[in-house]
């Protein structure tokens, strides 16, 4: 008997499960940390950059898959609201609820991804120092337990930490084997904006998350107050960039990252007017993702311009 379901090719399926298009959230901070190392110390080791990037991508992929697995097991991704409306940003990859992938396969793939990231981290530690292991352990443990952390209202903080400061500082450290204030300051806007991406995507998930006891900050605050929090997350990065330049902790060319502020304000406007209308929040989610991407690229460009113009 032939299977009546028509599934996409396995490669396409796993790319979707890994959420590969969202790897840009890892690539941008990795590039930023590496560029700051080049700006401050004149150092760029491409091998170490690539290894650190691949390790971070493995941890991110593992986090995405294990979160899908636990959300499916808890019943969150099976909630009827996702039958009414779904989008690429809400309710996980949808591959487990639709029966396209088996839960066990996703769980094993997540563990393999964490394992590969950890193995690369050990190799990097042998080359650059064991502090790399500490950063990796924080990322791996918070990634594996992300669903539980989110249920306790701290998932957003760990997304900020893991996809902002940890990657920027880690990418900087593997190049120069030391710490300075600048990569920490520069990492905060990136971390806040990726937390903003998660935050706005949690608003449509409010009903399903609350139904299974996944008490994210959005669930704890309620949609209306959560939008106030989203507003802060979208405005604060620009204040940090301006402050960093004024205090001479970031080069003046970093000001070009303020060019994304109008897009951020537009996303805020949509969120504040339509937080109860899931279909209309899609545009705010897309805008937030673009603000994170473009702001990060402009910060990187600011440092690169400073290097090449010898400012």
Per residue in 143-157, pLDDT (tens digit) is: 999 888 888 889 899
Is 286 in contact with 22 (CB distance < 8 Å)? no
Distance of CA 266 to the CA centre of its chain: 21
Is 23 in contact with 295 (CB distance < 8 Å)? no
CA atoms within 13 A on the CB side of 242: 8
Per residue in 238-271, pLDDT (tens digit) is: 999 999 999 999 999 999 999 999 999 999 999 9
Compute how many other C-beta atoms are within 10 angstroms of the C-beta atom of residue 223: 16
Listed in sequence order, the residues at least 6 apart from 190 whose beta carbon sits closer than 8 Å to its beta carbon are 28, 29, 32, 163, 164, 168, 237, 292, 295, 296, 299
Whole-number pLDDT of residue 91: 54
Q: Is 116 exposed, middle or buried (0-12, 13-18, 19+ CB in 10 A)?
A: middle
Per residue in 158-188, pLDDT (tens digit) is: 999 999 999 999 999 999 999 999 999 999 9
Which span out of 87-91, 209-213, 254-258, 275-279 was modeled with the highest average pLDDT? Answer: 254-258
- List b or e across 2-34, with b for residues whose CB sees 16 or more CB atoms inside 10 angstroms: eeeeeeeeeeeebebbbbeebbebbbbbbbbbb
Per residue in 12-34, pLDDT (tens digit) is: 888 888 888 889 999 999 999 99
**What is the token pair recorded at 308?**
């090449």
> Residue 249 carries which DSSP code?
S
- pLDDT band at 3; cut points 50, 70, 90: very low
Residue 81 has pLDDT above 80, yes or no: no
Per residue in 40-68, pLDDT (tens digit) is: 999 999 999 999 999 999 999 999 999 88
Whole-number pLDDT of residue 311: 63
Whole-number pLDDT of residue 79: 58
User: What backbone phi and psi angles, to 5 degrees, belong to 32?
Assistant: -65, -50
Whole-number pLDDT of residue 59: 95
Q: Which of 90-94, 219-223, 276-280, 285-289 bottoms out in mean pLDDT, i.e. has the lowest?
A: 90-94
State pTM to two decimals: 0.90
Whole-number pLDDT of residue 212: 76
pLDDT, mean over the chain? 89
């Amino acid at each position: 008997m032939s299977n009546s379901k028509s599934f996409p090719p396995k490669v396409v399926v796993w790319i979707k499960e890994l959420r590969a298009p969202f790897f840009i959230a890892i690539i941008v901070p990795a590039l930023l940390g590496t560029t700051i190392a080049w700006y401050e110390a004149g150092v760029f080791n491409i091998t170490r950059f690539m290894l650190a990037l691949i390790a971070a991508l493995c941890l991110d992929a593992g986090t995405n898959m294990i979160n899908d697995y636990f959300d499916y097991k808890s019943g969150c991704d099976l909630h009827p609201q996702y039958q009414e409306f779904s989008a690429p940003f809400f309710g996980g990859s949808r591959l487990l609820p639709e029966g396209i992938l088996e839960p066990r396969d996703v769980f094993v793939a997540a563990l393999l991804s964490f394992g590969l990231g950890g193995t690369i981290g050990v190799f990097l530690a042998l080359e650059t120092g064991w502090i790399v292991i500490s950063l990796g352990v924080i990322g791996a443990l918070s990634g594996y337990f992300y669903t539980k952390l989110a249920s306790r209202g701290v998932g957003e903080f760990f997304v900020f930490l893991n996809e902002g400061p940890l990657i920027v500082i880690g990418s900087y450290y593997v190049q120069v084997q030391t710490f300075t204030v600048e990569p920490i300051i520069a990492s905060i806007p990136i971390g806040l904006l990726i937390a903003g991406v998660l935050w706005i995507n949690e608003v449509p998930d409010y009903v399903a998350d609350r139904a299974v006891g996944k008490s994210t900050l959005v669930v704890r605050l309620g949609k209306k107050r959560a939008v106030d929090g989203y507003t802060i997350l979208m405005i604060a990065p620009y204040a940090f960039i301006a402050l960093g330049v004024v205090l001479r902790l970031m080069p003046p060319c970093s000001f070009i990252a303020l060019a994304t502020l109008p897009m951020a304000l537009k996303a805020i406007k949509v969120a504040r007017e339509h937080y109860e209308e899931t279909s209309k929040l899609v545009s705010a989610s897309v805008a937030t993702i673009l603000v994170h991407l473009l702001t990060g690229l402009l910060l990187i460009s600011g440092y690169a311009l400073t290097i090449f113009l010898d400012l």
